[in-house]
Structure 1
Amino acid sequence: MTGLTPYSHGAGQMTVAAPQPVHSLGPVADDWEAINVWLAAVADNSRSGSGETLKTYRYHLAKLRWYCDRELGRPPSTWTLQDVKAFRDYLTQLPASSLRTINIVPGTPDYSPFQKQPGVSTQSDIMRFTKAMFSALHRTGYLRLDPMALVKAPKQRRLDKKRAVGDDLFDLVLQVMAEAPRPTQKDHQIYVRDCFIFICLRESGLRASELIGAKMDAVGLLYNPNSGNTYWAMTVEAETAKGGKQRTVPVSVAFLEAFIAYRRAFGLDPMPGPGIQQYGLVLSVRTKKREIGSRIKSASDRRLFGEWRDVGSRQGLHGIIKGRIRDAVLLLQQAGDGASAAHLDRVSAHWLRHTFAMTSLLSGQDLRSVATSLGHASVDTTMGYTEQDAIDLIESWERETPGRVARAGPADSIK
């Protein structure tokens, strides 16, 4: 669409002005192309350069577009306030027909981006994205009106401090994994790899995207000139870090032991070193085709040469973690421990990151050190794992008026 400025005066004569676009996005064929132009600008303006915001936005856009195409039958430019409310209600209670129960290739007729009913925080994330999208399209002139102008921005996701895994449940998951039959070498490789994934996430506090994006040589030696000691550490590259800032985190003994066992199971040297093949940190038991001369090696030969593929997506990592957790949940249900089973069934990779943060803080580690390990730009984010504000108030009250705050007695306990 273009608008015309009929006349302009110049050098004493009247001339016809060039057509002026009614929006600043440039030539776009439809709403989805306009939204892609906006997303490209989001990527260009990202301070971190990690691309995580763009990935998240596209993840939410897939759901919005599917809703417009399959449920509403109209594009976003036609939305009114009532359409916004209808979309919000739709996310609150998804029809069974909108859920994908099996893995179907995107773009096929039966595909749905919804694998399950979105939780409250996910619904909030989707609606915040939608509000940002409409606001951008309105500001650029693509939309004359913003249908979400009167809609209050959904609250940011709040940290649920219960999203942590106790030692007993974590050990149970590893125990169930260890007791499962492993009749083949492939089964053993999967077992050792999965043990490493769980231990790595709990011991390092990595995000799922950071683990998937890491390479084997991210684990290496770090010399401390102050003590003269050399330690194992892991580098999180800026390209995969959410904040776009590289950081190096210490490697615990448990992490290193699981890492060595994992590499050995895949026929690799105990520790990474220079080589032609650059592996991802999380390997698949599937192999790549490799040509040597004019021959393509067999699968067994490729395993011999270590031509492993990577688990290259967060969805793949999520499937590994949830599959192992389901086995432990089933055992708890059979034992009649429904409460523990329900709690464990909610566990994800991010829960293990929360567990690392809370365990580190409760063990007395410095708040700023934990923030650095987690890659938080501000310690305020890390403080979300603590009750530091309340503790500061209690200490202030105790200094000013000793005995004012009610203390727990011997019979009291915290669940």
Structure 2
Amino acid sequence: MTRADDRALIDRFLEMMMAERGAARNTLLAYRTDLNQAADALPQGLVAADGGALQGLVAQWQDLAASSAMRKMSALRHFYRFLVEERMIAHDPSEILARPCGRRPLPKILSHDDVGRLFAELDARIAADHPAMADVRLLLMLELLYGSGLRATELVSLPRNAIAPDRPFMIIRGKGGKDRLVPLSDRARLIAGRWADFVSDDALWLFPSGKSHISRIRLYQMVKQLAAAVGIDPQRISPHVLRHAFATHLLEGGADLRALQTLLGHADIATTEIYTHVDSKRLVDLVNKRHPLARHSLKRDVDEGARDA
């Protein structure tokens, strides 16, 4: 791999961060700077670097502010994870690095009302006698992002036969090449049946575009455009935010964390635990209503204490 190859892969990585994660412009600029500097500092470049080379690089950051060093390590970890997922490398060399202390950022949240407005807009569009192909496609995509919790990459690369009308689930090849079972709602399968009328029988992909499938960037743009059409700030939404909404709203509805981990395809439940912050009200209500002390009236306890005095 040459320096030019490093730069090209950095570009692809940043496109993914924008499309799948909805990364802010400043984050993308910082990651680009960090990764370009790392590529220049490593004798063999980024892609060919091993764990020892990365440890040497991190040692050079000791005099930096903790926040700057954490951002640079985050850029490296995300970049190498991307290379593994894209099968550019077989092993993540950044796994050897000590993880900096710090809290995970809280995911952006969409309310039930926000999600309802998105679907109401698309439902109205496809209720026409001859709905636009793009509207049927986008409705199905939203069903799979919010209704099944797919990642953007998983969604756009679905094969043509991924959804069967008589099967209430899909088998998804997710991160790390691991398969997982993803449930499908009756509504999603119904919309998939309508979408099938627009897709050629010999197409390789469920969402074809040219010689390949629709890109993550295009998906990102369509979701932003839909948000703007219903009065939601486009900066608040992305395909990844819809996946967050899937997890958040399931947890609010009573799903347990282990089930959520399976549905999201997280290898480590610590990744899933980020969603517990949104459930604080339900947990407080649970303690107030279900804990044994909740059955005791404060006034009654005070009265009984007064009689005993």
Residue 250 of structure 1: CA displacement? 1.3
2:25 is the counterpart of 1:118 = yes
Point out which structure has higher relative CO (alpha carbons under 8 A, 6+ apart): 2
Q: One-letter code of the match for 1:254? A: R
SS at match of 1:359: helix
Instruction: Give the 3 Å change call, closer, same or farther, for CA 150–203 of structure 1 in structure 2.
Output: same
2:168–2:186 CA contact under 8 A, matched in 1: no
Residue 165 of structure 1: CA displacement? 2.2
Cα RMSD (Å): 4.5
SS at match of 1:280: coil
CA distance in 1, matches of 2:278, 2:117: 31
Taking the TM superposition and a 5 Å limit, the aligned residue runs for 1:98-177 are 118-120=25-27, 122=28, 125-126=31-32, 129=35, 133=39, 136-137=42-43, 148-151=61-64, 152=66, 153-155=69-71, 156=74, 158-161=104-107, 163-177=108-122
Please list every run of 5 or more consecutive structure 2 residues that lacks an aligned counterpart in the other structure. 16-22, 45-51, 75-102, 295-309
Deviates further, 347-356 or 166-175:
166-175
2:168–2:183 CA contact under 8 A, matched in 1: yes
Q: 2:216 maps to which residue? A: 314
SS at match of 2:182: strand
Instruction: Give the 3 Å change call, closer, same or farther, for CA 128–358 of structure 1 in structure 2.
Output: farther
2:171–2:180 CA contact under 8 A, matched in 1: yes
CA distance in 2, matches of 1:386, 1:214: 30
Instruction: Give the 3 Å change call, closer, same or farther, for CA 256–178 of structure 1 in structure 2.
Output: closer
Q: One-letter code of the match for 1:217? A: N
CA distance in 1, matches of 2:279, 2:33: 30
1:215–1:281 CA contact under 8 A, matched in 2: yes
Q: 1:260 maps to which residue? A: 193
CA distance in 1, matches of 2:279, 2:247: 17
Q: 2:275 aligns with which of 361, 382, 385?
A: 385
Residue 169 of structure 1: CA displacement? 1.7
Identity of aligned residues (%): 23
TM-score (structure 1 length as normaliser)? 0.48
Residue 349 of structure 1: CA displacement? 0.3
SS at match of 1:216: coil
Q: 1:210 maps to which residue? A: 154
Residue 199 of structure 1: CA displacement? 1.3
Residue 175 of structure 1: CA displacement? 2.7
Instruction: Give the 3 Å change call, closer, same or farther, for CA 144–278 of structure 1 in structure 2.
Output: closer
SS at match of 2:168: strand
SS at match of 1:353: helix
TM-score (structure 2 length as normaliser)? 0.62
2:255 is the counterpart of 1:365 = yes
More helix by share: 2
- Cα displacement string for residues 4-51 of structure 1 (whole angstroms, at most 9, x for unaligned residues): xxxxxxxxxxxxxxxxxxxxxxxx88xx25x74xx9xxxxxxxxxxxx
Please list every run of 5 or more consecutive structure 1 residues that lacks an aligned counterpart in the other structure. 1-27, 40-53, 62-115, 222-229, 269-274, 289-308, 330-340, 404-415
2:199–2:206 CA contact under 8 A, matched in 1: no
CA distance in 1, matches of 2:61, 2:196: 52
Instruction: Give the 3 Å change call, closer, same or farther, for CA 261–150 of structure 1 in structure 2.
Output: same
Deviates further, 190-199 or 170-179:
170-179
Q: 2:228 aligns with which of 303, 311, 326?
A: 326
> How many residues are treated as equivalent by the alignment?
245
2:183 is the counterpart of 1:250 = yes
Instruction: Give the 3 Å change call, closer, same or farther, for CA 361–124 of structure 1 in structure 2.
Output: farther
